[in-house]
Structure 1
Amino acid sequence: MKAKGTVSILVFFIVVLSTAATIAGIFSSEGPGPFEYETIRGETVMIYGKGIYQHMSLEVAPQGIAQDVVTLFIGVPILLIALYLTRRGWLRGRILLAGTLGYFFVTYLLYMLMCMFNNFFLIYVILTSLSFFALSLTLFSFDLDMLRTCFNKGRAMKGVSGFLIFNATIMGLLWLGVVVPPLLNGSIPLQVEHYTTLVVQAVDLALLLPIAFVAGVLLLKDRLLGYLLVPVYMHFLALLMTALSAKIIGMSILGTEVGPAIIVIPIINLTAIFCVIVIWKNINERAWVKIR
């Protein structure tokens, strides 16, 4: 990996800045506490009123805190482990590094776009940039022909691809169910609250879900790019769904109605983690050592 030194430096700053951002998100508590706010659309929204997320809604702010917990106690350690394994020459480590960097990129892209302006805005911008370039350098470091020879070609990897396609389709239909009805009847989705638009749904529908769907199709067709995108995306998805599970569980504890998501999201999360295990079992690390 020719850019190993550059990626290591970028990861160092990602770890330092994300640690600072997550600690502030978890432990900051200044502010008046919850209060009602009338939006520009004339609707009443309960505002969280505490810490750096004090201007976020009472429903969304705890989700940010839950994700901060996952990022700090799971994301950061995994990122450091992945970098260590990558520097030791492990193919599994490099794939894990790319997937984890994908998690940090998407996390702080959403924070940058959705969080109400706070003292960490520039930190979110910097983390988004650092993660993007570290992810790009890591992805471009793979030789696709070499990578393909290091995977066992069997039903297991096709099963992983099938799950990725299925999950992308289901999530896409779920978000369209949120977006389309209000567009047809001229109303505003409840999830908009006092924000400008549906940022999470927009990023998912425009980028993440199409990438997942295409990646799964490419691997099913035995295309080179599929052997890169599916493993990397699955590692990213496992970590992202862990954060989402934490959000759902946290909302449930706080008394927010989460419906079937309390069951569906953890099941998807566990399935994604199982798929990561399948991927690791189907990587021929010895072949990678011989040809790299």
Structure 2
Amino acid sequence: MKYRKSITILSSIIIILAVVAASMSVFSTGSPGPYDIETVRGETVTVYGKGPYKHMSEDVAPQGIAQGYITLFVGVPLLILSLVWARRGSLKGRFLLAGTLGYFLVTYLFYLVMGMYNVLFLVYVILLGTTFFAFAQTLLSFDLTNIAERFSESTPIKFIGGFLVFNSMAIGLMWLQVVVPPLVNGSIIPGQVEHYTTLIVQGLDLGLLLPLSFVSGLLFIRRKPFEYLLTPMYFIFLSILMVALTAKVIAMGMFGQHIVPAIVIIPFFGMVSIFCSVLIFKNIREPAHEYA
């Protein structure tokens, strides 16, 4: 089918360019090394000074490198596996493909809007575009009229949906602890802004990803058809993302940054997300030749 061919082409482009971008971030170490700069706010920030992230701060660049490892050795293999599985007619494969594409979409959206301009800018642009259209086409391929019937009656709806609601509230409170205190004490700008323009991660999480988690969980508990699509996809995305975040927290710790309570919260959420993903997949009944 033309549809299947377009997703295969887009996913192939994503695989190639993600390997390029992640490899350059992980293995490129050229440039002079760390140095200090004064921000427009009069604060001193240590810049990483190496590789594609040489203009990022020494606090943030190692996180990008850590996520590069996860993208290279977890995200790309999962994208290949899910694409092959989905092309064989598997509904589970299509859910896995949607969730994995969601991870790449969010990852390169963040890289494009947060990463200091570097040689990979056009690569990020192409990755964002290809992942968006591949993700959208994959979502549109599902038949919502009977999707709820593909889940067994033993699916732990309340537990799975409840965790998504809890996840959104817990992470949201963690980010509000960064944003709100400076607003209360009058300093306005959190130290985490460093030499960047704003808090990109916290902003997109609070404005988009966490509300999606909350609504998906709530409507899944209420057994709304659209959430039978969003919830499995979101859990795959969340599982990969939490693995990447765990790697980022570990990298922060290796550079002497304070990582409590994140070093406890993030891996715990990651393990629960993977557990819920397994539960969901165990309770999906495969239709015959639905993807053909």
**Superposition pairs for residues 198-209 of structure 1, below 5 Å?**
198-209=199-210
Check conservation: 1:95, 1:231, Cα contact below 8 A: yes
CA distance in 2 between partners of 1:219 and 1:259 (Å): 32
Letter in 1 for 2:128: T
2:223 aligned residue: 222
Tell me, yes or no, if structure 1 residue 117 matches structure 2 residue 117.
Answer: yes
CA distance in 2 between partners of 1:158 and 1:134 (Å): 30
1:252 aligned residue: 253
Matched residue of 1:194: which SS? Answer: coil
Residue by residue over 1:117-146, the C-alpha shift from the partner in whole angstroms, topping out at 9 and shown as x without a partner, is: 001011111101110110000001100122
CA distance in 2 between partners of 1:139 and 1:263 (Å): 33
CA distance in 2 between partners of 1:209 and 1:31 (Å): 37
Q: TM-score, normalised by structure 2?
A: 0.96
1:289 aligned residue: 288
1:174 aligned residue: 174
Unmatched runs of 5 consecutive residues or more in structure 1: none
CA distance in 2 between partners of 1:5 and 1:29 (Å): 38
CA distance in 2 between partners of 1:80 and 1:234 (Å): 18
CA displacement at 1:217 relative to structure 2: 1.0
Check conservation: 2:86, 2:97, Cα contact below 8 A: yes
Check conservation: 1:2, 1:141, Cα contact below 8 A: no
Unmatched runs of 5 consecutive residues or more in structure 2: none
**Superposition pairs for residues 150-169 of structure 1, below 5 Å?**
150-154=150-154, 156-169=156-169
2:196 aligned residue: 195
Letter in 2 for 1:238: S
Residue by residue over 1:249-277, the C-alpha shift from the partner in whole angstroms, topping out at 9 and shown as x without a partner, is: 12222322211111111111111000110
Structure 1 moving runs of 4+ over 4 Å = none
2:242 aligned residue: 241
Residue by residue over 1:62-97, the C-alpha shift from the partner in whole angstroms, topping out at 9 and shown as x without a partner, is: 000000000001000000000000000011100000
Q: 1:209 to 1:2 in 2, by over 3 A?
A: farther
CA distance in 1 between partners of 2:268 and 2:234 (Å): 18
Q: TM-score, normalised by structure 1?
A: 0.96
RMSD over aligned Cα, in angstroms?
Answer: 1.3
CA distance in 2 between partners of 1:215 and 1:147 (Å): 15
Residue by residue over 1:10-54, the C-alpha shift from the partner in whole angstroms, topping out at 9 and shown as x without a partner, is: 000000111100110001111110111110000011110000000
Matched residue of 1:289: which SS? Answer: coil
Tell me, yes or no, if structure 1 residue 275 matches structure 2 residue 267.
Answer: no
Check conservation: 1:146, 1:291, Cα contact below 8 A: no
CA displacement at 1:215 relative to structure 2: 0.6
2:67 aligned residue: 67
Tell me, yes or no, if structure 1 residue 186 matches structure 2 residue 186.
Answer: yes
Matched residue of 2:36: which SS? Answer: strand
Matched residue of 2:156: which SS? Answer: helix
Q: Bigger CA drift: 114-123 or 183-192?
A: 183-192
Aligned residues: percent identity? Answer: 52
Letter in 2 for 1:253: M
2:80 aligned residue: 80
